[in-house]
Chain A
Amino acid sequence: MTDMAGENGAGDQAMSQGDLFSKFDGIIQQRETLLSSGVADPFSLVMEKVLSPTRAICNGRETILLGTYNYMGMTFDPDVIAAGKSALDNFGSGTTGSRVLNGTYQGHKECEEALKEFYAMDHAMVFSTGYQANLGIISTIAGKEDYIVLDIDSHASIWDGCALGNAQIVPFKHNDIEAMEKRLRRIPEGAGKLVVLEGVYSMLGDIAPLKEMIAVAKKYDAMVLVDEAHSMGFIGPNGRGVAEEQGVLDDVDFVIGTFSKSVGTVGGFCVSNHPKFEVMRLVCRPYVFTASLPPSVVATAATSIRKLMHGGAKRAHLWENSRTLHGGLKDLGFQIGTETPQSAIIAVIMPDLERGAAMWEALLHEGLYVNLARPPATPANMTLLRCSLCAEHSVEQVQTILGMFERAGKAVGII
């Protein structure tokens, strides 16, 4: 009836002469049709120079970055950069090994200590990416006999983790507490249960009713994993995410996060208070069978995480930016993914892929980069221009951005 983890957009063409690539003909065709209409390819942009967390040179033009998930603007923080340089000098360019063999350096332990302090949790495990953190933790804890109850709009790394572990997958309608409860209630007695949720859903920028959902999960004795990739550093009193904001972090068994957004480098992690958590380092294949992060990366991550603990002023400015952009775009007549600004993601809903791509290109000509999201990655087959704000966007930049949206929207005929 369905593909387990999304669709690749291919038609049902019979394999021609055994070419394994013929299953992609549908997607190749769709892309060619789009490009033949004359728009620039939205998926092959090159940043020629990066000037700051909010500015880069693209196609020779200075461009404001509004689609990079660099929420806290840590990528050019002087302390972060100094820590990375020093680690490069003192520990070399890479570890050439797995965390469980020769790939655990002082820096990896310091990074895990920083995470434990940041989340006030007993255990922290650093992975090479957030994708691998979800893949590893989910596939390792939920096996063939176990049930995973998850939101239908979950990130690809969550779906892939479910598939890798061969668990019984039971999705429910996005953010629908009742649908989630019904599914938990029907799971056979005695079966293992894992509920997987996200704090912020990155397509529309909406947040989950974690308080209610986690209460339901606990009622049915399910373990709970929350992916807080898009909330770290600016949601919750200590920036620990939506679960902290809603006062239910203590009931979350596993928090998954990434260094590729607020932290401003690359890597992923899981933090937990589970007393047996450390066994994960021995049994989690996406942790064991891959090389650990380079010393410079964990040094920048640890420094950034510690600075995020004291990022109150930046956080307030990020929220101000989010409110200004959300309100401004709404006033201009754009349709936004959420009624109110709930996160640092503002998703502008496009009428269709063609006008979405045209609008994306018009904005790029104005000197603005946003993120184009299209089916099948999007909910309800929407085409979205996803804007993610940065704490380093100035008040003036946000006004400039609104002006760009107004001109481009009128030129393309969307407003």
Chain B
Amino acid sequence: MDRTEVETRIRSLIEPFNKKNVAITDASTFAGDLEFDSLTVMDFVAAIEDEFDIIISMNQQAEIENFGQLVDAVCKLQDD
């Protein structure tokens, strides 16, 4: 799966969590722009993990601050 397709899928997964309909760019941050709290993060991460059949450990999550970094991380985890 190439980066564009990963990004498209993540965009559709994020929709139900994007309560304020923030326009999402690679630079959009989860804690700041999207105002995700820890419960939202858990549900959102679970949705991504299920979609791509991967694990994003909390240690890896700690490195991911914005949307672009998430797409990159998912691409990388898929290749592993």
Contacts and interface: CB of A to CB of B under 8 A. Distances in A.
A183 B55 contact: yes
A288 interface: no
B54 A2 contact: no
A201 to B, nearest CB: 16
Nearest to A1: B61
B23 interface: no
A3 B38 contact: yes
B55 A1 contact: no
Nearest to B32: A12
A404 interface: no
B62 interface: yes
> Most chain-A CB neighbours within 10 Å: which of B46, B53, B54, B65?
B46
Given A1-B41, A3-B38, A147 B57 contact: yes
Given A1-B45, A2-B38, A179-B46, A170 B55 contact: yes
B22 interface: no
B68 to A, nearest CB: 13
Count class of interface residues, chain A: 20 to 34
Interface of B: 30-32, 36-39, 41-43, 45-46, 49-50, 53-55, 57-59, 61-62, 64-65, 70, 80
B42 A152 contact: yes
Contacts of B57: 147, 168-170
B49 A2 contact: no
B56 to A, nearest CB: 8
Contact of B55 (A7, A152, A187): A187
A381 interface: yes
Given A1-B70, A381-B39, 11 more contacts: A1-B30, A1-B36, A1-B41, A1-B64, A1-B65, A2-B58, A147-B55, A147-B57, A186-B49, A187-B55, A380-B39
Nearest to B80: A188
Given A2-B61, A2-B62, A4-B62, A186 B39 contact: no
Interface string A159-177: 0000000001111110000
A364 B68 CA distance: 51
A297 to B, nearest CB: 35
B46 A2 contact: no
Nearest to A172: B46
Interface string A374-398: 0010001100000000000000000
Contacts of B61: 1-2
Contacts, number: 54
A2 B49 CA distance: 16
Nearest to B36: A1
B46 A169 contact: no
A236 B28 CA distance: 50
A276 interface: no
A66 to B, nearest CB: 29
B27 to A, nearest CB: 15
Contact of B59 (A152, A168, A186): A168
B46 A173 contact: yes
Contacts of B46: 172-173, 179
Contacts of A380: 39
Residue among B43, B57, B58, B80 with the most chain A CB within 10 A?
B58
Contacts of A152: 42
22 contacts: A1-B41, A1-B61, A1-B64, A1-B70, A2-B38, A2-B58, A2-B61, A3-B38, A3-B62, A7-B38, A147-B57, A152-B42, A168-B57, A169-B59, A170-B58, A171-B42, A173-B42, A173-B43, A182-B49, A186-B53, A186-B54, A186-B55
Interface in A1-41: 1-4, 7, 12
Contacts of A182: 49-50
B39 A2 contact: no
A187 B39 CA distance: 22
Contacts of A12: 32
Contact of B41 (A2, A147, A169, A170): A2
A260 B37 CA distance: 32
Contacts of B45: 1
Contacts of A169: 57-59
Interface in A134-166: 147, 152
Interface in A46-82: none
B39 A1 contact: no
Interface in A99-147: 147
A4 B49 contact: no
